[in-house]
Amino acid sequence: MMRGDSGHGHGLMQIDDRWHFADINNGAGWHVITNIMQGMEEFYAAWKRAPEQSCVPSASSWRTRARAAYSAYNGGPSQICRFTNPDHKWTRNDEGFVSKYDNESWLNNVADTQATSPIDSVCIAEERNNCSNDGGTTPADPIDQLLKLSNGEHCILAEGKLECVEQAQDSACLVAFGSFSGAATDFSDSQAAKFSKTLYDRHQCIHAIDNLRGVGTAVTLLKNINVRTTPGGTKINQSVSGANYQVLDFVVTDSELLKRYYQIQHAGKIGYVYAGKESDDMLWTEPTDQADVTLIPQAGQSILITASTGINMRRTPGGSLITAIPNDTVVNVVNTHVQGTANYIYYQVEYGGQTGYVYGGFILPNSTLADWATLTEATPPTPPPVAQRSGIGSNTLWYRFLRNCAQLSCSQTNDYVVGFKLENLCNGGRCRYTRDQVTELETEGDWSKVRINRNGGEGWLPTTDIDWQ
Amino acid sequence: MKPVGYILIALCLSTYLTYLLLQDTDMETESNQTRAFSEPTLIAQTTTPNTTDVSSDPIDHLPKQAMILSHMAAIEHCEANNECPFADTDPKSVYFAVGMALKKDIQLLTLHASEQPNLILLETAKTYFVYQNDHVREAALNLMATQPPDQDNVPVLLEGLAQSHDANIYRMALVEFQRYPDQNSQQHIHAFLSDTLSTGGIFAKRTIANNLLPLLSTRNIDRYRAVLTQLSADQSHSRALKQIIEEFDRQQTGG
């Protein structure tokens, strides 16, 4: 990597570590696209300011404006008119710049100004992985290739179907469907339309890659491993062998070696640790039951609802509403469910005698879990015992099939509650039916869940269908 | 020049030398932070500007603060006149030395700031947040945060951000913006942020998109929904903005 300005300038655009120290540590020196973007933003700021300076006659004085922008870029904003001062120590740099500007000498290093770039710089600038643009055409039968769809999904073609993940960085998960290597090839919408497609959630990856630990699980580190801002990025600190960490995110790179990285929190800082490749991952980590610090509450723990508006409890993650759990309520976690590219968390909880899912925020890029619920040592209040009551089928109906939930639109069960009509037809003990005795199990609105004493069948029916005793 | 500038320059001559003598004492109070480079080297005493009588100045009862302010004025003056006595080892060495010297002074002011409102400190923060040096802007923003929020800060914050393209400055400003919930301030803040998301620098856009959630409300969310419809779904800040808007919606409905 090029260094200049007494070692402070880094890379093609000489990004200065005296302000951009953290960026340089994160690769802004060697990452050529980031380096150019940072440099050009600085140059453009000076370019915009230049027409306001006395040394630039007008905004359309292009040559002078460029010289001013360079002076500021090279010497700092206060030096924007440096090029007009022949006695300044660093005016020699301005002379060098204008010489190149006038002679267009950079063209000496370009063989073909019309050539298509083999680098998809926009893709790289937008921080996508596996960026490519080789200008070639996609083969007719793209077997054993990673394919990039126009919406950013990455797929492989296996047995006539597209098997896809939402983003490039999870493409290693697709090894379950076949082998591939190298950068992704663009696959047009018209090509993709010829195949059926299945889109997999990234968290299904743990089933595709041996020993990959899921978000929320705990691992014991078997070595002291550097904690880095990104997989393979800048070192933050070093985790401790033998310590137990909760996995906050996973990244798998290299579809052949299946290198894995886990995001953990160590000493109050969040970063990624390398966790080995497919052939040696057991040398780096091993699963354990409990992390030393739990950031994502797990089954058996309790959470305190912190969302000021409370949280909706739903039948499935994001599904139909059961009820709302008020703010400041403590509930038991039955299970923790993770989904999506941002590691969205849903807790399966018990509340009000029912079980359902509540949203818990996301992990990436900046966790919002605390906005919704936090782990607590407190235990939920014991619900008051449900005053069970019994009754018999109402004498206003013949019979009513039970439902699987508390709505008329819900599906019927095979069980039914008998009302008075059939009882009235009974005569001298010849009738099989009497008004059914039922026990109420729970209620929801105008509906009751009941157990039929006759056969133990359970289900929902309108509360008014029973004469309660 | 703004009034505070005259005050600063006026204080220079009488207090600068004293400040230099006391500088080591003040240095001991500075927080112990990791530095990426060594301290700027002051190799000669700077020339100070002409001054006026400052005997009746209201900040005379705060000698340490006055000394610091006068030192800052001297640095500003020397930079404007290419007279700074810092080592000129590469084209930007003086620029960064000036920035670090001003930053250090502002940090000293911040350390000595009490919980009581101090108009001089607030004006200093505002003055230096638009200084063309991100080290100075960073320190000025920290100083501003020690003072009660004042609606007049918002135009200055927006002016300083418009001059900067730095992610760190944007990240800090987004935190500061949370202290200005009044409708007028919010209108200006969100007009600026939404414009930047559409047409701003790439690092500024990403920082805004990733840190916007605490600033979102039912009054401004539609503005960002409109921005999102104009962005390409492939852009990293577009993806981040979409995620934040969805999170806001969940917060409104209880998840």
| Tens digits of residue pLDDT in B51-97 | 333 233 334 445 788 999 999 999 999 999 999 999 999 999 999 99
Q: Are residues A273 and A229 in the same domain?
A: yes
Task: Evaluate if residue A185 carries a pLDDT over 80.
Answer: yes
pLDDT at B214 over 80: yes
Q: Is the dihedral of CA A306, A309, A315, A319 positive or negative?
A: negative
Interface test mutation site (partner A, options B88, B95, B103, B175, max chain A beta carbons within 10 A)? B95
**Could you tell me if B18 and B144 lie in one domain?**
yes
B133 shares a domain with B205: no
Query: Per the CB < 8 Å rule, is B91 touching A127?
Result: no
Is the Cβ of A54 closer than 8 Å to some Cβ of chain B?
Answer: no
Report if residue A433 sits inside a domain. Answer: yes
Q: Is A215 found in the same domain as A190?
A: no
**Which residue in the set B79, B163, B250 is minimally distant from A78, CB to CB?**
B79
Partners of B202 on chain A (C-beta within 8 Å) are: 37, 41, 125
- Tell me which of B132, B148, B164 is where a domain ends: B148
Percentage of the residues of chain A whose pLDDT score is greater than 70: 90
A148-167 average pLDDT score? 90
Q: Are residues B10 and B47 in the same domain?
A: yes
Smallest CA–CA separation between A358 and chain B, in Å?
A: 7
Q: Comparing A11-15, A274-278, A328-332, which segment has the lowest mean pLDDT?
A: A11-15
**HSE (side-chain half, CA atoms, 13 Å) at B156:** 21
Please tell me which residue, A346 or B44, carries the higher pLDDT value.
A346
Counting Cβ atoms within 10 Å, is residue B106 exposed (0-12), middle (13-18) or buried (19+)?
buried
Residue A73, pLDDT score: 95
Task: Name chain B contacts of A340, Cβ cutoff 8 Å.
Answer: none
Cβ-proximal residues to B41 (8 Å cutoff; 6+ apart), any chain:
B86, B87, B97
Asked whether the predicted pLDDT for residue A349 surpasses 90, the reply is: yes
Q: Looking at the structure, do residues B142 and B157 belong to the same domain, yes or no?
A: no
- B118 with B6, same domain: the answer is yes
Instruction: Judge if B70 and B170 occupy the same domain.
Output: no
User: For residues A338 and A297, is the Cβ–Cβ distance under 8 A?
Assistant: no
Which carries the bigger pLDDT value, residue A207 or residue A235? A207
Residue A79 domain-assigned (yes or no): yes
Residues in chain A within 8 Å Cβ distance of B37: 8, 17-18
Q: Of A23-37, A313-327, B241-255, where does mean pLDDT reach its minimum?
A: A23-37
Q: Count how many domains chain B has.
A: 2
B116 and B156 inside one domain: no
Smallest CA–CA distance, residue A126 to chain B, in Å, is 5
3-state DSSP assignment of residue A102 = helix
Note whether B95 contacts A79, CB cutoff 8 Å. Answer: yes
For the record, the structure tokens of B146 come out as 């020690």
Q: Looking at the domain assignment, is residue A310 inside a domain?
A: yes
The DSSP code sequence of chain B is --HHHHHHHHHHHHHHHHHHHHHHHHHTTS-----SSPPPPB-SPPP-------TT-GGGG-HHHHHHHHHHHHHHHHHHTT---B---STTHHHHHHHHHHHHHHHHHHHH--SS--HHHHHHHHHHHTSS-HHHHHHHHHHHTTSPP-TTHHHHHHHHHHH---HHHHHHHHHHHTT--SHHHHHHHHHHHHHHHHHS-HHHHHHHHHH-GGG--TTTHHHHHHHHHHS-TTSHHHHHHHHHHHHHHHHHHT-
Same domain, A8 and A78: yes
Write out the residue range of the structural domain in which residue B92 sits: 1-148
CATH number of A342's domain: 2.30.30.40
Tell me the C-alpha to C-alpha distance, in Å, between residue A216 and each of A17, A277, A334.
37, 20, 14
Q: What is the dihedral of CA A360, A363, A364, A365, to 10 degrees?
A: 100
Instruction: Tell me if chain B has a CB within 8 Å of the CB of A284.
Output: no
A431, pLDDT greater than 80: no
B159 interfaces chain A, CB cutoff of 8 Å: no
Domain count, chain A: 5
Q: Which residues of A touch B250 (CB under 8 A)?
A: 359
CA distance A17 to A234: 15
Q: How confident is the model at residue B37 (pLDDT cuts 50, 70, 90)?
A: very low
| Residue at which a domain ends, from B113, B148, B183 | B148
Is residue A90 within 8 angstroms of chain B, CB to CB? yes
Q: How many residues appear in chain A?
A: 469
Lowest mean pLDDT among A15-19, A448-452, B18-22, B100-104: B18-22
pLDDT of residue A180: 83
Judging contacts by C-beta atoms under 8 Å, the chain B residues touching residue A126 are 234-236
% chain B with pLDDT above 90? 67
Task: Tell me what the mean pLDDT of segment A114-118 comes to.
Answer: 82
CA A95 to chain CA centroid, Å, is: 50
Higher pLDDT, A375 or A436: A375
What does the block give as tokens for B168?
């760190």
Residue B6 — pLDDT band, cuts 50, 70, 90?
Answer: very low
Q: How confident is the model at residue A172 (pLDDT cuts 50, 70, 90)?
A: confident
Q: Which of residues 370-389 of A touch B (CB under 8 A)?
A: 371-372
A419 near B CB under 8 A = no
Same domain, A259 and A227: yes
Do A200 and A281 sit in the same domain of this protein? no
Distance of residue A359 Cα from the nearest chain B Cα, in angstroms: 5
- Higher-pLDDT residue of A399, A113: A113
Domain co-membership, A194 together with A218: no
Interface check for A38 against chain B (CB to CB < 8 A): the answer is yes
Average pLDDT of chain A is 87
Q: Are residues B53 and B135 in the same domain?
A: yes
CB of B15 within 8 Å of a chain A CB? The answer is no
What is the average per-residue pLDDT within A393-409? 85
Q: Beta strands of A142-298 (E only): which ranges?
A: 147-148, 154-158, 161-165, 185-186, 196-200, 218-221, 226-228, 235-238, 244-246, 249-253, 259-266, 269-274, 285-288
Kindly identify which residue of chain A lies nearest to residue B163, measuring between CA atoms. Answer: A45
CB contact under 8 A, B79 and A74: no
Tell me how close the Cα of A364 comes to any Cα of chain B, in angstroms: 10
Report chain B's mean pLDDT, rounded to a whole number: 80
Cα gap B105→B100, rounded to integer Å: 9
Is the model's pLDDT at B237 over the cut of 50?
yes
Interchain CB distance below 8 Å, A41 and B82 = no
Distance CA(A67)–CA(A100), nearest Å, equals 11
Q: Based on the domain organization, do A79 and A136 belong to the same domain?
A: no
Same domain for B1 and B91, yes or no, is yes
The domain boundary residue, chosen from A376, A403, A419: A376
**pLDDT at res. B29:** 29
Is the pLDDT confidence value at A4 over 80? no
- Partners of A350 in beta bridges: A332, A355
Please compute the mean of the pLDDT values over residues B111-128 and round it to a whole number: 90
**Domain shared by B127 and B218, yes or no:** no
Q: How many CB atoms lie within 10 A of CB A379?
A: 10
Give the model's confidence band at A230: pLDDT under 50 very low, under 70 low, under 90 confident, else very high: confident
CATH of the domain at A138: 3.30.2390
Q: With respect to residue A294, please indicate whether it lies within any of the assigned structural domains.
A: no
| B3 in contact with A, Cβ within 8 Å | no
B41 touches chain A (CB under 8 A): no
Pairwise CB contact (< 8 Å): B92 & A8: yes
Q: Does B53 touch chain A (CB under 8 A)?
A: no
Query: Chain A partners of B159 at a C-beta cutoff of 8 Å?
Result: none
pLDDT of B20 over the 50 cut? no
Examine the pLDDT at B155 and tell me if it is beyond 70: yes
Of the residues B97, B129, B148, the one at which a domain ends: B148
> Is A37 within 8 Å of B251 when comparing Cβ atoms?
no
Q: How confident is the model at residue B15 (pLDDT cuts 50, 70, 90)?
A: very low
Contact list in A for residue B233 (CB cut-off 8 A) is 151-152
CATH of the domain at A234: 2.30.30
Structure tokens at B205: 């856009």
Q: What is the predicted ipTM?
A: 0.74
A102/A62 same-domain check: yes
Whether A362 and A407 map to the same domain: the answer is no
Residue for token pair 């195949």: A195
Answer yes or no: do B115 and B236 share one domain.
no
Q: Do A368 and B132 touch (CB under 8 A)?
A: no
The span from the CA of A289 to the CA of B39, in Å, is 49
What single DSSP character describes residue A8? T
**B91/A79 touch (CB, cutoff 8 Å), yes or no:** yes
Do A213 and A201 sit in the same domain of this protein? no
- Which structural domain, as residue segments, surrounds residue A81? 3-108
Instruction: Write down the pLDDT at residue A443.
Output: 86
pLDDT of residue A183: 75
B126, B111: one domain: yes
